[in-house]
Amino acid sequence: MRRTALLAAAATLLGTLAAAPAAHADRPHGPGARAHGPQVRGLDHCTATDTGSLACRFDVVPGTYDVTLVLGGDEAGSTAVTGETRRALLAETVTGAGERVRRSFTVDVRDPEGEPTGPTGSPGLDLVLGGSAPRVTALRVTPARDARRLFLVGDSTVCDQPGDPYSGWGQLLPARLRSGIAVANHADSGESTVTFLENPALFDRVEAAIRPGDPVLIQLAHNDKQTDAATYRANLTTLVERVRARRGSPVLVTPIVRRWFNADGTLDNGTALLVNGLGVDHPAEVRALAATLGTPLVDLTALTRARVEELGPEASKALYLTSEKRDNTHTSVRGATEYAALVAAELRTRGILPKRLLR
């Protein structure tokens, strides 16, 4: 498709766009308030792609931002929004011909934009307006300095994975939240409880950003293959205590299962259920520690085990990268989407987040 045709398609998809320039990102504002100063209108921030979506970039400084869109148009549409490092920010939304609906979400912009030890990524805020038939008639980005953040501390099964087909459940979680709270996913591939505390780019950075009341979900186990039980408990305790010292709200999360089946269709009690080479049963340790410390628990091991065993050895392949990569640890987009839904349901059920912040 020629560039002129792409621009014509962009004009069809997007009627009006307004973004808060970085120069105004640090000015006072209230929830939902418009940014101060002049706003930029037109298609300057967006470029049509050969897939029919719009790639938009906004020159804003790191922080939290509210994004408000009016979806729909003269023709029927189906629009989804992703951003930064492949984060799902708005699930696919269907609009009828002539219908207009308003949707909003809050996004965390940081540097680096994805994994803390990964590629820096591009500065500012990147959004992709996609879906099977994207229709967007208005878009506004404004600072949301007072928005809450939901911090994620974890490994490659949680992180914002940079490359398809890999997807962490934390990468799909933002689409489960409404405006007013942003997912700050600081999970990083290959990390254990040991390395997350040792590397200043990891927990030190999370700790410095926590504000009173911010929930901090902690799922670390997959890479603690040589961590003994006492050290594992001590490290998790340190993480919890440091979150509490910042007046944050720590939440312990047991790890997602690996897809390793026994002959009878149940998951293997060792590899699949995260028992390491030293005999440390990670989920059991997390459950016991949550009870001892009085910390909320999301038993994601139990939840994902139930789902994988329900699907069975063949159908459960779709949740992981079994077919694509012979990988039974890391999830596909479908698996990450389902597991993010499990986490979101627990956040609601256990009162970790108020219902008004969950979709």
Tens of pLDDT, residue by residue over 282-318, are: 999 999 999 999 999 999 999 999 999 999 999 999 9
* One domain, residues 118 and 197: no
* One domain, residues 186 and 275: yes
The domain containing residue 83 runs over which residues?
3-143
* One domain, residues 171 and 134: no
* One domain, residues 167 and 243: yes
Query: Domain end: 143, 158, 188, which one?
Result: 143
* One domain, residues 153 and 138: no
CB of 22 closer than 8 Å to CB of 65? no
* One domain, residues 134 and 167: no
- Take residue 188 and report the two structure tokens written for it: 């990083």
* One domain, residues 287 and 254: yes
Tens of pLDDT, residue by residue over 30-83, are: 333 333 222 323 346 788 888 889 999 999 999 999 999 999 999 999 999 999
Mean pLDDT of 314-324: 98
Query: Domain end: 113, 143, 173, which one?
Result: 143
* One domain, residues 165 and 90: no
pLDDT at 283: 98
pLDDT at 45: 79
CATH of the domain at 182: 3.40.50.1110
pLDDT at 44: 63
Q: How many domains does the chain have?
A: 2
52/128: higher pLDDT: 128
* One domain, residues 156 and 94: no
Q: What is the pTM of this model?
A: 0.89
* One domain, residues 204 and 302: yes
* One domain, residues 174 and 51: no
Whether 228 has a pLDDT exceeding 80, the answer reads: yes
CATH of the domain at 40: 2.60.120
Q: What is the 3-state secondary structure (H, E, C) of the chain?
A: CCHHHHHHHHHHHEEEEEECCHHHCCCCCCCCCCCCCCCEECCCCEEECCCCCEEEEECCCCEEEEEEEEEECCCCEEEEEEECCCEEEEEEEEECCCCEEEEEEEEEECCCCCCCCCCCCCCCEEEEEEEEECCEEEEEEEECCCCEEEEEEECCCCCCCCCCCCCCHHHHHHHHECCCEEEEECCCCCCCHHHHHHCCCCHHHHHHHCCCCCEEEEECCCCCCCCCHHHHHHHHHHHHHHHHHCCCEEEEECCCCCCCECCCCCECCCCCCCECCCCCEHHHHHHHHHHHHCCCEECHHHHHHHHHHHHHHHHHHHHEEHHHHCEEEEECHHHHHHHHHHHHHHHHHCCCCCHHHEC
Mean pLDDT of 336-352: 98
* One domain, residues 193 and 331: yes
Angle (deg, nearest 10), helices 333-349 and 300-315: 150
Query: Domain end: 143, 162, 190, which one?
Result: 143
